[in-house]
Chain A
Amino acid sequence: MAMIRPDALKKEYDVIVVGSGAAGGQTAYTLTMDGAKVLMLEAGRNYVPETETPMFHTPDQAPLRGTSTPDKEFGFYDSTVDGGWEMPGEPYSSASADPEQRFWWWRARMLGGRTNHWGRISLRNGPYDFKPHSRDGLGFDWPIDYGDVAPYYDKVEMLIGVYGDNDGMENTPNSSPGVLLPPPKARAGELLIRQRAKKLGVPVIAAHRAVLTQKLDHTRLPKLLHPGNERAQQILAQHMRDRAACFWATDCGRGCSIRATYQSTTVHLPPAMSTGNLDIVTQAMVREVELDKRGLASGVVFIDKASGQEHRAKARVIVLAASACESVRIMLNSKSTRFPQGLANSSGKLGKYLMDTVGSPVSGQIPMLENLPPQNEDGAGGIHVYSPWWLYKDAGKLGFARGYHIEMGSGRRMPSVGSMGSMASFAGGYGRKLKEDMRRYYGSFIGLSGRGEMIPNENSYCEIDPGGKDKWGIPTLRFHWKWSDHETRQAVHMQKTFAAIIAEMGGKVMGKPELDGRKAIAPGGFIIHEIGGAIMGSDPKTSVVNQWLQSWDVKNLFVTDGAPFPSNADKNPTLTIMALAWRSADYMLQAMKRREL
């Protein structure tokens, strides 16, 4: 089994997995390592990090010095290809003309999806995060609790490799002993932030990120991850040996050719391929899931983008892992007499409760950081420290529910057109004096960025656009979006807090803190943590899937991406997506063995 073209499809698979990112990668990994025959369908092209990653390329080698454009929204060297908020031939629409009610939908049409580019920040949901409604009456509880997911967090962290400390802080769970890799040392600016934020009661601890600060222990971990499965242990051990540790250079967003960070394409898919149990078809744009006479999912219909031809693939179990909104779109487009409102939508909840993360940043210039001796601060290609939410005790007193964490940046980073242009504007003037000022100010800026929880609401959802079709004739999504006061007030709290930290550092806020929450908050979809749309619950009337991410209506249909999340804790969703996908795949394996599927 291997990368195949659509004409080489087998007659039937055990499982079809639609999507190849964190969810699809983890689902296919777990299934194939245990012997299931899996077909993975990816809408984008094949992508090979080992040969396509511009690791040490410098801005002067890139068009426009690598600055972001509408074609490459995170800069030329960002690993995302065929992705972004605006994709040719793949439109979506907004129900409202009001920019505040617009949702920005990021896609990454490539093998591995957005795991090639993501920030690698890997935070666990805590016990409170699974029971938010019980705590404050808002949103929904999950049908599972932290204890159900904890073993899977351990497994995912051991598999992908996550650095961090066990700080034992409230609702910020420790990992089991021997699971985490040591965190990198904090950079100078991060240490200064920590010292000063402490005076305001804001803790700063080691970040948790999926970057190998040392090589994974290939003798110990495979046995823990695949007990009793020697073949899986051998395959995994080999791939763990093949992954290098971080060499402390280049931004993780470019992807990693030495496989030192988690990408589905470097961590999940290679061992899954080695099992011989995985076929992958790329350029396969799935249109719908088909049902048989019994009302079970029988397979999927997809368009081969290379030829424009329609194909069908069949399996005992269908897994949608195409990213929250794309999975919802496929289900809404899978209409039948049994499900006129979209597949598995007897609850009417499909597409509902779309959420993103509350984001708001402040940056500052810190005189203490001027003129420091040159030092290499590239580090692990992302944050080394962060602040977990620290005001749980103040719940109910803040004017908004829930909380946020702080991601922070500082240091003598690789100069870019944007950073140097604004530094020149900050310095002012011109001539020799400008050059001296640039040397002085370089490395003296910090950035604080909040990442907070959004409460699901009735006004934020997606549906099929009655007039919209993409270039393959597949009906497109129309979005409805609205932040509530909980989110906008939280954004203001971020602004005030970050300004206070900068002041405590003796620095100057760049611009002014934005005290109008509607302006302070990043637009919906901009943090690219969209989840919800097929929420899980314990009641088929009010949820789309159960705790195993299994459709209530169609028992051999699963959704293992972010769509089943009934809440969106401030913790970045990727780690939880993987943990739940693993748990769901374990359930599928058991159910298939029992012939229930």
Chain B
Amino acid sequence: MYELDRRTAIKWVLAASAALRLPSASFDALAAAPTAQGYGKDPNLMKAYAAGDLWPLTLTKEQRVTATALCDLIIPADDTSPAASSVGVVDFIDEWISAPYPEHAVDRKTVLDGLSQVETEAQRRFNTTFAKLSTQQMSTIADAIVTEPFFVRYRALTAGGFYTTPVGVRDLKYVGNVAMTTFEGPTQDVLKRLGLV
């Protein structure tokens, strides 16, 4: 349902939700997946992990610069919250594309090829690197690829990375994950707006 996921996934997997206890990993990935180099079937769930703790990261210094600029084009700072890169989204994307699972290997190629394509375009159109472009110049490149698989995927990863940080969660005004003594259901205000009073 709202745990919607990915381009290649079968429709019902797409629609699956954590709440309804269906997996979001695609079938093919499950079928092809060795469990070898990942965190295994019994990782420590209680400790906190950082990007790079479990497997080596991928992005070079140059690639990180491009990745940072693109993340911040997609999710820039505004009055409510800062830009994506300032809360570790580039680290997250690096962790993601470096993960030793089949599905992540697909994203690795998509992202690395895409970042390279973005740099090529920056050189071709403006004769400099992507990160040095103005927002307007970056946008001309983004607009040209906005429906392409790379951009769609990179945007999904950027948004997924940003809105799962405490900053992103606050931006969306998710107010759960706190213990309460009662559950009161929707407020009168909400009920009124939905025509449920």
Residues of A bordering B, CB below 8 Å: 45, 51-54, 56-77, 81-88, 99, 117-119, 184-188, 191-192, 195, 246-251, 253, 359-363, 368-369, 372-380, 382-383, 407, 409, 412-426, 428-432, 434-435, 438-439, 442, 445-449, 510-511, 514, 519-523, 526, 528
Interchain residue pairs with CB less than 8 A apart (13): A65-B92, A68-B24, A69-B39, A70-B34, A187-B185, A191-B194, A246-B183, A248-B179, A249-B176, A415-B172, A511-B14, A514-B11, A519-B11
Give the chain A neighbours of B133 by CB distance below 8 A: none
**A52, A372, A382: most-surrounded residue (chain B CB, <10 A):** A372
Q: Are B186 and A375 in contact (CB under 8 A)?
A: yes
Q: Are B45 and A414 in contact (CB under 8 A)?
A: no
Q: When chains A and B are docked, how far (Å) is the Cα of A71 from the Cα of B37? A: 10
Q: Which of A45, A68, A432, A448 contacts B25 (CB 8 A)?
A: A68
**A45, A379, A407, A449: most-surrounded residue (chain B CB, <10 A):** A449
B113 at interface, CB cutoff 8 A? no
**A56, A378, A424: most-surrounded residue (chain B CB, <10 A):** A424
**A373, A375, A445: most-surrounded residue (chain B CB, <10 A):** A375
Q: Are A63 and B174 in contact (CB under 8 A)?
A: no
Q: Are A71 and B181 in contact (CB under 8 A)?
A: no
Give the chain B neighbours of A74 by CB distance below 8 A: 18, 21, 23
Distance in Å from the Cβ of B117 to the closest Cβ of chain A?
16
Distance in Å from the Cβ of A364 to the closest Cβ of chain B?
8
Q: Are B164 and A191 in contact (CB under 8 A)?
A: no
User: Given contacts A62-B49, A372-B190, A442-B172, is CB(A421)–CB(B159) below 8 Å?
Assistant: yes
Q: Are B160 and A416 in contact (CB under 8 A)?
A: yes
Q: When chains A and B are docked, how far (Å) is the Cα of A423 from the Cα of B51? A: 24
Give the chain B neighbours of A415 by CB distance below 8 A: 163-164, 168-169, 172, 174
Give the chain A neighbours of B177 by CB distance below 8 A: 56, 58, 249-250, 378, 414
Distance in Å from the Cβ of B30 to the closest Cβ of chain A?
6
Q: When chains A and B are docked, how far (Å) is the Cα of A435 from the Cα of B54? A: 31
Q: Which of A51, A188, A418, A428 contacts B186 (CB 8 A)?
A: A188
B106 at interface, CB cutoff 8 A? no
Q: When chains A and B are docked, how far (Å) is the Cα of A423 from the Cα of B1? A: 11
Q: Are B171 and A439 in contact (CB under 8 A)?
A: yes
Minimal Cβ-Cβ distance residue in A for B38 = A71
Q: Which of A83, A195, A376, A418 contacts B178 (CB 8 A)?
A: A376
User: Given contacts A192-B194, A377-B176, A430-B73, is CB(A86)–CB(B43) below 8 Å?
Assistant: no
Q: When chains A and B are docked, how far (Å) is the Cα of A304 from the Cα of B171? A: 51
Q: Are B176 and A447 in contact (CB under 8 A)?
A: no
Q: Are A422 and B156 in contact (CB under 8 A)?
A: yes
Chief secondary structure at chain B's binding surface? loop
Give the chain B neighbours of A438 by CB distance below 8 A: 159, 163, 171-172
Q: Are B178 and A71 in contact (CB under 8 A)?
A: no
152-197 of chain B: CB within 8 A of chain A = 152, 155-166, 168-169, 171-187, 189-191, 193-196
Distance in Å from the Cβ of B28 to the closest Cβ of chain A?
10
Q: Which of A69, A88, A418 contacts B3 (CB 8 A)?
A: A418
Give the chain A neighbours of B49 by CB distance below 8 A: 61-63
Q: Are B73 and A420 in contact (CB under 8 A)?
A: no
Q: When chains A and B are docked, how far (Å) is the Cα of A379 from the Cα of B41? A: 29
B81 at interface, CB cutoff 8 A? yes
Q: Are A417 and B18 in contact (CB under 8 A)?
A: no
8-31 of chain B: CB within 8 A of chain A = 10-12, 14-25, 27, 29-30
Minimal Cβ-Cβ distance residue in A for B178 = A249
Q: Are B180 and A247 in contact (CB under 8 A)?
A: yes
Q: Are A419 and B161 in contact (CB under 8 A)?
A: no
Q: Which of B25, B139, B163, B183 contacts A420 (CB 8 A)?
A: B163
Minimal Cβ-Cβ distance residue in A for B25 = A68
Q: Which of B2, B176, B191 contacts A419 (CB 8 A)?
A: B2
Give the chain B neighbours of A88 by CB distance below 8 A: 35-36, 41
Minimal Cβ-Cβ distance residue in A for B29 = A70
Q: Are A417 and B160 in contact (CB under 8 A)?
A: yes
Give the chain B neighbours of A442 by CB distance below 8 A: 172-174
Minimal Cβ-Cβ distance residue in A for B73 = A430
Distance in Å from the Cβ of B78 to the closest Cβ of chain A?
5
Give the chain B neighbours of A61 by CB distance below 8 A: 48-49
12 more CB-based (< 8 A) A-B contacts, given A363-B2, A363-B15, A372-B190 = A70-B34, A70-B101, A195-B195, A250-B177, A374-B174, A413-B19, A420-B156, A421-B160, A423-B2, A435-B78, A449-B22, A522-B12
Q: When chains A and B are docked, how far (Å) is the Cα of A442 from the Cα of B174? A: 9
Q: Are A63 and B39 in contact (CB under 8 A)?
A: yes
Q: Which of A58, A81, A363, A421 contacts B1 (CB 8 A)?
A: A363
